[in-house]
Amino acid sequence: MQEKTVYNFNAGPATLPKAVMLKAQEEFVNYRGCGYGIVEESHRAAPFEEIIQAAEANIRKLMGISADYDVLFLQGGASLQFAMVPMNLMVPGKKIAFCDTGEWAHKAMKEAKILGAGINLVYDGAKEKYSCIGDVSSWQFDQNDAYAHICSNNTIYGTAYNQYPDTGALPLIADMSSDIMSKVVDVNRFALIFAGAQKNMGPSGVTLVIMRKGLAERCPETVPTMLRFSTHIKAQSLYNTPSTFSIYMVRLVTDWMLEQGGVPAIQKLNETKAAKLYAAIDESGFFRGTCAKADRSKMNVCFRIGEGNEELEKKFVSESKAAGMIGLKGHRAVGGLRASIYNAMPMAGIDALVAFMKAFAAKNG
């Protein structure tokens, strides 16, 4: 097949670093000379053990995770964490604090309700159609709750926490699926962080969990073995067969992140990428950002044409695709346009999109 340059702005699974893709391809059928592919290797064999340990070491280094935390590779995505977290950490008679900033925080809250937990709704973003997060320092947390849950970046609505709420001694749980390792975060502020890999870290199939030691002991006896964090802590993520190829890819992506200069360097690049794109929106007089400027995500840039010109938006999606930029359609829940620009999206992709936007506005404005 002839090579062509395509920029993939999908919200996830998403674009991966080209160097990683080429390396994985090169050793796909013969991993480091062993004569067969890593996808065929036993999860109990030395080559895979080296991979999962290296992936964990990379993540610890990239995020500055101390020995006070366990790092786990699980399955089922963030959606399974929406259930696993309350199954393991809810406390009879105590409520769970939720900050509802969008669909994923809302879904997590729904699962806690299904499991019978009482909810303390600390922030209800639905009132503003999830277009902002606002001043988190004004949020009130009840120290008697079991824990507090936030979603750090809202892929669908394009908002993100630019600072995290102070929950005091209340354990703070964050779903960082869509911005993990995109910016420097003080892990010590969190009791538990979880993230599906398929945006900033690798392909789908693996979910990262970073969990403060001791917390898993809360889990009641009635929770099935596979759904207990303690099972995976004890077995170092090898209680049963994990999605081995996904973990292999996470190792390669995190190797690449370290080569790029780690999270501070990546954050700087991400800020420049997002600033360029938002400037193109704000300066156009044609496109319009959909959320409060202070709460704009640097991962998912959501915008519309005018007040929501669906016909032109459809044309934008189809013409951008023809120009080699895919995945620019907004989520079906909100419509409009969205460019997901995770760590692996190169500056050249942003430049191509900005140029396309300018030309499109000039032609259709």
Q: Which span (42-50, 155-163, 272-280, 286-294) binds its own copies, by CB under 8 A?
A: 42-50
Find the binder of its own copies among 88, 101, 131, 198 (CB under 8 A).
198
Q: Given the complex with its own copies, which of 199 and 304 has the nearer CB atom?
A: 199
139 annotated to bind ligand: no
Instruction: Say how far apart CA 187 and CA 237 lie, in whole Å.
Output: 20
To the question of whether residue 198 is assigned a binding role by annotation, the answer is: yes
The reply to whether 46 sits near its own copies by the rule CB under 8 A is no
Per-residue binding string, its own copies, 267-306, x by CB under 8 A, is: ----------------------------------------
Of 162, 188, 240, 318, the one binding its own copies (CB under 8 A) is 240
User: Annotation-wise, does 15 bind a ligand?
Assistant: no
Tokens representing 86? 């309350």
Q: Which of 140, 143, 222, 293 binds its own copies (CB under 8 A)?
A: 222
Query: Cβ atoms within 10 A of the Cβ of 65, count?
Result: 17
Using CB under 8 A, pick the residue from 54, 65, 115, 354 that binds its own copies. 115
Segment contacting its own copies (CB under 8 A): 110-118, 250-258, 261-269, 306-314? 110-118
Amino acid identity at 88: N
Is 44 within any annotated ligand binding site?
Answer: yes
Angle, in degrees to the nearest 10, between helices 46-63 and 262-282: 60
Q: Does the N-terminal peptide bond of residue 13 adopt cis geometry, omega within 30 degrees of 0?
A: yes
Decide: is 16 part of the binding site for its own copies (CB under 8 A): yes
Ramachandran sector of residue 33 (left: φ over 0; alpha: ψ -120 to 50; beta: rest):
left
Provide the greatest CA pair distance for the chain: 64
Q: How is residue 261 written in tokens?
A: 């200069």
Residues noted as catalytic:
104, 175, 199
| Identity of the residue, 25 or 140, whose beta carbon is nearer to its own copies in the bound complex | 25
Nearest distance in Å: CB 172, its own copies:
22
- Within residues 157-196, the interface with its own copies by CB under 8 A covers 196
Which of 29, 126, 275, 359 forms a contact with its own copies (CB under 8 A)? Answer: 29
Site string for its own copies, 315-334 (x = CB under 8 A): ---------x-xx-------
335 binds its own copies (CB under 8 A): no
Alpha-carbon span 282 to 83, nearest angstrom: 39
> Annotated binding residue at 340?
no
Crossing angle, helix 77-89 and helix 103-114, to 10 degrees? Answer: 40
Question: In 3D, which of 155, 152, 175 has the Cα closest to residue 10?
Answer: 155
Selected range binding its own copies among 12-20, 163-171, 253-261, 310-318, rule: CB under 8 A = 12-20
Which of 54, 57, 119, 227 forms a contact with its own copies (CB under 8 A)?
Answer: 227
Give the interface size with its own copies as a residue count (CB under 8 A): 74
87 lies in the site for its own copies, by CB under 8 A = yes
Q: Which residues are annotated binding-site positions for pyridoxal 5'-phosphate?
A: 78-79, 104, 155, 175, 198, 240-241
